[in-house]
C-alpha cells in the first residue's frame, strides 16, 4: 500500500488505471471475441474471485483464458508460478509497464489483457464481470443464468453500492485503518449492513429473490473469507459469519454450487492474507482453523419465491444510510 491510499487514518482504495471497455459491437475498439482476451487473477483476491465465478457460471472457459498468480506477493507484486504462457511474463507488473511505462500504482488483479494489441484493456474490477455478463452474451452457454437482467439492474446496482462500501471494501477499511475512529466507522457500517442482509435473507434464497444475480456474486467472496481471515486478521470480530443463521446458510448454499466452490481456494486465501501483511501479522504464522462444514445442508431451496420489489428496497435504503453516515463522519473529521 502507498501513502496515497490513506487519508486521515482511513484506507482509500486506489483508482483503477485501465478502464477501456470491451463491447459486443466493437465500437470501443475492443470487440468481444473468443480467445482474444486473457484474464489475470489470484484465488486469494476477492475482487478477482468474482470474475472467476462469473466466467464459470457463464461457461466462458474457452472464450476467455485465465492465468492464476501465486498467492504470495512481494515488493514486485503478483508473480506467476511459471512464465505466463501468453505474454512470457513472470510478474503481473510487466503487463502494467508494457501498457503504461509511467505507471506507479499497485499492480492489481483482476485485469484483462488484449492479445491483439498486447496491452491491458481494463483492471476496473466492478466492470469486468458486467462486461462478461452483457458484452460476451453471444458466447454464454445455452443454460447460463442471466446475472444482470435489465428489469433488476436498478435494484442490483443499489444493493451492490451498499455491499461494496460497507462489506467488500468495508473489511479492508477496518483492517487497514490507521486510527481508532476510522476503524470504528468501518466496523459499525460493516456489521449494520450484515445485520440488514441477515434480515433480508430470512425470506428469500438469494439477495434478489429465487435467482442468482451479480449481487450474490459480489457478496460471496467477502463472506466466504470472513471467518477464516477478516474476523481475526482485520479485527472484524463483533460476530462471525457462523453466528448469522441466514447469512451462513446462504453462503453455504452458494458454495455448494460448482461455480462457487471450484473457484474458492482456502489455502491460497489464508496464505496470502497472513503472509503478505507483515504489519498485521509480523510472525507470519498462518492459522490452522477455523473448522467449518461447508457441505452441511442449508434448506435454502425451500424458501418461497420472493418478489424483489418488496421490503428489500427498504433494507437497502437503510443500509445506504449507514454509508452516508460513515461518509459524513469522515468528512467532519477531515475538517477538524
Catalytic residue flag (residue 45):
yes
Cell of 233: 486478521
DSSP assignment of 120-134, as one string? EEE--HHHHHHHHHH
Catalytic residue among 45, 96, 148, 250: 45
173 Cβ neighbours under 8 A, 6+ residues apart = 10, 11, 182, 185, 186
**Which residues have C-beta within 8 Å of that of residue 145, sequence separation ≥ 6?**
57, 58, 211, 212
What are 156's three cell numbers? 442490483
Q: Could you tell me the end-to-end alpha-carbon distance of the chain, in angstroms, rounded to an integer?
A: 26
Residue 48's alpha-carbon distances to 55, 127, 240, in angstroms, are 11, 12, 23
Which of 37, 107, 172, 274 is an active site residue?
172
3-state secondary structure (DSSP) of residue 319: helix
Beta-bridge partners for 11: 6
Left (φ > 0), alpha (ψ -120 to 50) or beta: where does 97 sit?
alpha
Buried b (16+ CB within 10 A) or exposed e, 111-129: bbbbeeeeebbbbbbebbb
Per the annotation, the verdict on 172 as an active-site residue is: yes
Which single residue is written with the C-alpha cell 441477515?
Answer: 198
Residues 6+ away with beta carbon under 8 Å from 80: 67, 68, 69, 70, 89, 90, 91, 92
- Phi, psi dihedral angles at 35 (to 5 degrees): 85, 0
Catalytic positions? 45, 172
Amino acid at each position: 500500500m502507498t501513502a496515497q491510499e490513506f487519508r486521515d487514518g482511513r484506507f482509500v482504495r486506489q483508482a483503477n488505471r485501465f478502464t477501456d471497455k470491451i463491447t459486443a459491437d466493437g465500437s470501443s475498439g475492443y470487440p468481444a471475441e473468443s480467445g482474444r482476451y486473457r484474464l489475470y487473477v489470484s484465488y486469494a483476491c476477492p475482487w478477482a474471485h468474482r470474475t472467476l465465478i462469473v466466467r464459470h457460471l457463464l461457461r466462458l472457459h474457452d472464450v476467455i483464458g485465465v492465468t492464476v498468480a501465486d498467492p504470495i506477493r512481494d515488493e514486485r507484486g503478483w508473480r506467476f508460478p511459471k512464465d505466463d504462457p501468453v505474454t512470457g511474463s513472470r510478474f503481473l507488473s510487466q503487463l502494467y509497464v508494457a501498457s503504461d511505462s509511467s505507471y506507479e500504482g499497485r499492480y492489481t488483479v483482476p485485469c484483462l489483457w488484449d492479445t491483439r494489441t498486447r496491452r491491458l484493456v481494463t483492471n476496473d474490477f466492478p466492470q469486468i464481470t458486467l462486461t462478461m455478463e452483457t458484452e460476451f452474451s453471444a458466447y454464454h452457454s445455452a443454460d447460463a443464468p442471466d446475472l444482470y437482467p435489465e428489469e433488476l439492474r436498478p435494484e442490483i446496482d443499489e444493493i451492490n453500492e451498499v455491499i461494496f462500501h460497507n462489506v467488500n471494501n468495508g473489511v479492508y477499511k477496518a483492517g487497514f485503518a490507521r486510527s481508532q475512529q476510522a476503524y470504528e466507522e468501518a466496523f459499525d457500517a460493516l456489521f449494520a449492513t450484515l445485520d440488514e442482509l441477515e434480515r433480508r435473507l430470512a425470506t428469500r434464497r438469494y439477495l434478489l429473490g429465487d435467482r442468482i444475480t451479480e449481487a450474490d456474486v459480489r457478496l460471496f467472496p467477502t463472506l466466504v473469507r470472513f471467518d477464516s481471515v477478516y474476523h481475526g486478521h482485520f479485527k472484524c470480530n463483533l460476530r462471525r459469519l457462523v453466528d448469522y443463521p441466514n447469512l451462513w446458510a446462504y453462503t453455504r448454499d452458494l458454495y455448494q454450487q460448482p461455480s462457487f466452490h471450484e473457484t474458492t481456494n482456502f489455502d491460497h486465501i489464508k496464505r496470502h492474507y497472513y503472509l503478505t501483511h507483515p504489519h498485521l501479522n509480523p510472525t507470519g504464522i498462518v492459522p490452522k482453523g477455523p473448522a467449518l462444514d461447508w457441505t452441511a445442508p442449508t434448506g435454502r431451496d425451500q424458501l418461497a419465491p420472493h418478489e424483489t420489489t418488496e421490503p428489500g428496497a427498504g433494507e437497502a435504503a437503510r443500509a445506504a444510510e449507514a454509508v452516508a453516515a460513515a461518509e459524513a463522519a469522515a468528512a467532519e473529521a477531515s475538517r477538524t
